[in-house]
Amino acid sequence: MIPALELHDVAKSFGPVRALSGVSLTVQAGEVHCVLGENGAGKSTLCNLVNGGVSLERGTMTLYGEPYRPSRPTDALAAGVAMVHQHFSLVPTLTIAENLLLAAGARLRPRRRELHEGLARIEETYGLSVPLDELAGHVPVGVRQQAEIIKCLLRDPRLLLLDEPTAVLGPADVDALLATCRRIAEAGKAVVLVTHKLGEVTRAGDSATILRGGTVAGAGPLAGFGAEDLVELMVGRPMSDLDPLLVASVDESATSREAARITAEPVFRAQGLTLSRADGTLALDGVNLEIAPGEIVGVAGVEGNGQSELVTVLSGAVPPGSGSFLLGEHDLTFATPRGRTAAGLGIIPEDRHHEGCVPAMSIAENLFLPRLSEFARRGLLDRSALHEAAARVIEEHGIRATGPSARMSTLSGGNQQKVVVARELALDPLVCLVAAQPTRGLDIGAVDAVLGRIRSAAQAGAAVLVISSELSELLALCHRIVVAYRGRLLGPVPAAAPQARDEIGRLMVGAAA
């Protein structure tokens, strides 16, 4: 049987960084093939190669036996390869119908009738449907993903690529998505599922290729691998060597740790926080939360249920519509970011590149931007003192860089995050730390370092709030977990409870606590 997709000895570099080297892989029609790997293993590059987003440097690709070398996404689409992008490819200012019409190519008269026929066919075959007249930018993320998948299916592709499709979905939506993948494969198409979450694979996949550091660490039918084998292949060390916390970040089956007893008075008090979106709906609908010193509270939930908005309100980027936020004695509800910092509130933002740091500036500048006046001498900035102070932080936090004047953008994601964490932990006193998606996009070594720092901050007496879409990570790190659902926080669920995972899963889809 001719394989649907075959990669042979493929390599790709970005400047000095080798993203992929010597990668070979075979995908059969009618199967769901999983590409597994940690962040930075080369999964995205692989997707972009197959999709024509980046061009091949070395090696060959064949599609259903024919040489295949797309130089742009259009080529891939013409060859019957469609991709569901992690960040979607829908134009937010157009309606979903208009987006779907565009997928059929730009014509003077859009073929509305064909579209409706196609949609009816897809609904019949796969059970998928979407609201057509809504703006793509206004629908929930799960609906957007369905629209994205329908957009791909309308072209009747031979090969469907899905890049981290479950990152934005709740458990129920994940199950539905995996079922859809199976149905697409059963219709005779090849499906490539790219992910770093092992749980999905064992449920939906037929075979797998495991990437590590840009090379293939293992491949074969999934039946031949145990869950532990897969973790070891992804991480490159035997599972018994790993910190349970690390394992938790890649494996769903890891156990949670014992809860410590927290008895102190809460220092973090959010009461009745609300926030409206531009369209009048509530992004936050009465958020109540208290955290004691030394306590780590996690916020789980499907993305888009108010987690990001909660962080923007806590960090002072946007004032809440109503409610209050107190830190110890200080009322921070409407405080400026500077006032919050002074009160001892550290924030590790979700979007490291846009909020957490200034990539074009040096490590030293990034570390001390909020405190530059401490380095002013007679009106001028004392750069040598600044660099000395930065060098100490670099040393202490094990940040790998050429020096304090190295640009942030030259650092790996993990080291950038270490700089952000170092800056926020340097607050004196650190009363409370809010960490949003603190390990997103990091490799396993950096995950370990960042989570270790967060944990020790709590041990030193800070109240810690961790917002994460990695449930396993929350279960391993936190004392209590609350679940964001439509702008409210449900729960809490003690992380050590035996049924914590199932309980949280139910809360994520809005079932009563």
Q: Enumerate binding residues for other proteins (CB under 8 A).
A: 14, 19, 44-45, 48, 51, 53-55, 72-74, 77-78, 83, 85, 88-94, 98-99, 101-103, 105-110, 151, 315, 317, 336-338, 340-341, 347, 349, 351, 354-361, 365, 369-370, 372-373, 375-376, 379-381
Contact (CB, 8 A) for 378 and 401: no
Question: Residue 263 Cβ, how far from other proteins at the closest point, in Å?
Answer: 33
State the amino acid at position 42 in one-letter form: G
Contact (CB, 8 A) for 453 and 421: yes
The nearer residue to other proteins, 196 or 479, going by C-beta atoms, is 196
297, 299, 300, 303 alpha-carbon torsion, rounded to 10° = -160
Question: Residue 212 Cβ, how far from other proteins at the closest point, in Å?
Answer: 19
Contact (CB, 8 A) for 471 and 437: no
The nearer residue to other proteins, 187 or 360, going by C-beta atoms, is 360
User: What are the tokens at 158?
Assistant: 């031979």
Q: From CA 239, how far away is CA 56, in angstroms rounded?
A: 34
Question: Residue 500 Cβ, how far from other proteins at the closest point, in Å?
Answer: 32
Residue-level length of the chain: 513
Question: Residue 288 Cβ, how far from other proteins at the closest point, in Å?
Answer: 25
The nearer residue to other proteins, 19 or 198, going by C-beta atoms, is 19
The nearer residue to other proteins, 261 or 377, going by C-beta atoms, is 377
Query: Which has the closest alpha carbon to 398: 450, 458, 443?
Result: 450
Question: Residue 513 Cβ, how far from other proteins at the closest point, in Å?
Answer: 33
The nearer residue to other proteins, 294 or 438, going by C-beta atoms, is 438
Kindly give, in sequence order, each residue whose CB lies less than 8 Å from that of residue 306, ignoring residues fewer than 6 positions away: 275, 283, 284, 285, 287, 484, 486, 487, 488
Strands, sheet with 58-63, edge to edge from the N-terminal-most edge strand: 17-27, 5-14, 58-63, 66-67
The nearer residue to other proteins, 376 or 509, going by C-beta atoms, is 376
Q: From CA 171, how far away is CA 62, in angstroms rounded?
A: 35
User: What are the tokens at 121?
Assistant: 């066919």
Q: From CA 15, how far away is CA 6, in angstroms rounded?
A: 26
The nearer residue to other proteins, 107 or 261, going by C-beta atoms, is 107
Q: From CA 118, how far away is CA 150, in angstroms rounded?
A: 9
Q: From CA 351, how far away is CA 357, in angstroms rounded?
A: 9
What φ, ψ does residue 282 adopt, rounded to 5°?
A: -90, 120
The nearer residue to other proteins, 20 or 500, going by C-beta atoms, is 20
User: What are the tokens at 267?
Assistant: 């220092």
The nearer residue to other proteins, 99 or 209, going by C-beta atoms, is 99
